[in-house]
Structure 1
Amino acid sequence: MRKAIFMTGTGTDVGKTYVTALLVKKLKDRGYDPAYYKAAVSGNTRGADGRLIAGDALYVKNISGIDQPLDEMCPYIYERAVSPHLAAQIEGDPVDMETVRKGFEKACETHGCVVMEGSGGIVCPIRCDDKLILLEDIIKTLGLSCIITADAGLGTINSVVLTAEYMRRNGIKILGVILNNFHAGDVMEEDNRMMCEIVGGVKIIGTVAPDATDIDMTDEALDALFCEEE
């Protein structure tokens, strides 16, 4: 059985964390005992004690209602709102793959399943100094298959097709696409949904309406995310 899945996006600000939170909530409501994990997160604020707070992790925790400790959800937290590799160059504490792996394995051991979220889009440098770590390196090291989050609006055919093609070229399995900001019945967005499948060769497994509190996804599609690998 597949223990964990990876959430990536067609780019920054497509609602990946929002969709991830709703997916974790849906898994919790279905009895999966999910955990959330993210290798590195940038653009965070400090609490009253001066420590950086992993904003994405806190958001997912609050929306989904999971009781996972916040300090186990993301090992690398940066203040600058830039790519993790650049934030680490400025602030120090570059991402170490072994630290990421250990945190991920702990989440897998203590929960029924894990939803891991990426940083930015699929082409995201995580570290660049004496070592180069890209987001795809983390996905491959942990042996994960991916869901792509995309905005349902204008331009999504191009962004979904290019993201999917890059992932296939690099040996990353795509489980499906979730369209965010989807207006059911909108002529263009319904066509985008169809064309992403036809041109991109991907399956739209769910949609999220603006300001929704749930993903429009069948229980069968949800369960299929954790079925045996083909």
Structure 2
Amino acid sequence: MSKSIFITGTDTDVGKTFVTAHLIKALRDKGIQAGYYKAALSGAYYEEGKLIPGDAKYVMGIADFKEDYDKCVSYTFETAVSPHLAAQIEGIEVNLDKIKVDYKALLNKYEYLFVEGSGGIICPIQATEKAFILLEDIIKRLDLDILVVARAGLGTINHTVLTVKYIQSQGLAVKGIILNGYEEGNTLHEDNKRMIEALTGVEVIAVIPSATEENVGINLDAEKLMSLCK
């Protein structure tokens, strides 16, 4: 039976896409068919007349696989703003049923499916008189548990604890935290890791040296990673 997990961040540009790419790569390097899905992406760009969801392209490049962009991203917006505003500007209505259908189609294709969020956990996807959809609504509709990607540096205790506590307040489960830009031997980073675990009760399952180094993988056992998915 196929399994999946949702990946969110404590903020935008925290390294969600980098982490997602390497989680998928970790499984594919073991011969496990792992795939990628994202409900809504803004800030796409044109390449040879086709609108390209950059995150999806990046993930496939790192993890070395191919998938139809229209199948792995349900809503691709060119406008580089929050998805709800991009949808409003571009006159597109987001539909939860379409998201679930697209997700299920990929879940049936791959052994493990990694679902990347947009921005942080409190991210509006649609905000109109007809529908108000938050990222958490998508997570609940797809019945997913969550991994949280956070920065390793100053301020991360507050951002990470708030993110985890909010997720839990919505009746959702956080299966692990990944710290990005972590420096071994850095007193601040090491203390941040310790305090985040103490304050949330959630394990920091991996630390990553730098999201800017594309050749840096995630030191996370494939079996451990698979055990976090449901």
TM-score, scaled relative to structure 1: 0.94
Question: 2 CA distance for matches of 1:193 and 1:30?
Answer: 28
Question: 2 CA distance for matches of 1:128 and 1:7?
Answer: 22
Q: Deviations over 1:104-125 (max 9, x none)?
A: 0000001111000000000000
**1:44 CA drift (Å):** 1.1
Match of 1:120 in 2: 119
Contact kept? 1:85, 1:94, Cα under 8 Å: no
Question: 1 CA distance for matches of 2:43 and 2:146?
Answer: 24
Question: 1 CA distance for matches of 2:36 and 2:101?
Answer: 14
Contact kept? 1:35, 1:111, Cα under 8 Å: yes
**1:2 CA drift (Å):** 6.8
Contact kept? 1:34, 1:66, Cα under 8 Å: no
Match of 1:217 in 2: 220
Match of 1:170 in 2: 170
Match of 1:56 in 2: 55
Structure 2: tracts of 5 or more residues without a match: none
After TM superposition, the structure 1 = structure 2 runs for residues 148-159 of structure 1, keeping only pairs within 5 Å, are 148-159=148-159
Question: 2 CA distance for matches of 1:2 and 1:155?
Answer: 37
Contact kept? 2:7, 2:115, Cα under 8 Å: yes
Contact kept? 1:35, 1:114, Cα under 8 Å: yes
Match of 2:77 in 1: 78
Q: SS in structure 2 opposite 1:17?
A: helix
- Counterpart amino acid of residue 215 in structure 1: I
Question: 1 CA distance for matches of 2:69 and 2:75?
Answer: 12
Contact kept? 1:149, 1:180, Cα under 8 Å: yes
Q: SS in structure 1 opposite 2:196?
A: helix
Question: 1 CA distance for matches of 2:184 and 2:225?
Answer: 20
TM-score, scaled relative to structure 2: 0.94
Q: Deviations over 1:177-204 (max 9, x none)?
A: 0111111121110111111000122110
**1:48 CA drift (Å):** 1.6
Q: SS in structure 1 opposite 2:47?
A: coil
Q: Does residue 195 of the first structure (1) align with residue 198 of the second (2)?
A: no
Q: Does residue 101 of the first structure (1) align with residue 100 of the second (2)?
A: yes
After TM superposition, the structure 1 = structure 2 runs for residues 39-54 of structure 1, keeping only pairs within 5 Å, are 39-49=39-49, 51-54=50-53
Between structures 1 and 2, the one with greater strand share: 2
Question: 2 CA distance for matches of 1:183 and 1:221?
Answer: 23
Alpha-carbon spacing, 1:98–1:83, altered in 2? closer, same or farther (3 Å): same
- Counterpart amino acid of residue 88 in structure 1: A
Contact kept? 2:2, 2:110, Cα under 8 Å: no
Q: Deviations over 1:37-89 (max 9, x none)?
A: 0000001111122x311111001011111232333110101111111000010
What number of residue pairs does the alignment pair up? Answer: 226
**1:224 CA drift (Å):** 1.8
| Structure 1 residue ranges (4+ consecutive) displaced by more than 4 angstroms after TM superposition | none
**1:219 CA drift (Å):** 3.6
Structure 1: tracts of 5 or more residues without a match: none
Match of 1:9 in 2: 9
Q: SS in structure 2 opposite 1:179?
A: strand
Q: Does residue 32 of the first structure (1) align with residue 32 of the second (2)?
A: yes
Match of 2:181 in 1: 181
Question: 1 CA distance for matches of 2:181 and 2:225?
Answer: 19
Percent identity of paired positions between Structure 1 and Structure 2 = 45
- Counterpart amino acid of residue 203 in structure 2: K
